Amino acid sequence: MRLAPWLAILIIAVVSLTPGGLHPHAVSSELAERFLAYFLTALILSIRFPRPAAGIEIAAWLSIYAGSLEILQLLIPGRNGRYGDFVMSSLGALCGVAFGLLATIWWERSHNQTARH
């Protein structure tokens, strides 16, 4: 679990910076693919670092990362950096953090109630 978030971040970079003709697709919609990649990465990170302050940092850094990769895509043949892709990636990161923090809170509450009984 310790390497999972960093592996996810690396995979996003490799897929994002792969030239257009070699770019793999996991789902049919590129926007859904971006949302899902950042959602899962943020989810893993927020479970790994389950504090609300860390969640804000995770969402912010992943958004900066997404923007940076979109800019770098302007230099890659067959790729183009788009504002909509950045927005969808950032939204995925934000939703992943929110879901991860809510899941962590739910888990802790249900685990603490079970331990008391």
Segments of the chain scoring below 70 in pLDDT: 1, 22-27, 114-117
Quote the DSSP letter at residue 1. Answer: -
Structure tokens at 37: 């990649």
- Would you list the domain boundaries of the chain? 49-111
List pLDDT tens digits, range 97-109: 999 999 998 888 8
Q: What is the pTM of this model?
A: 0.87
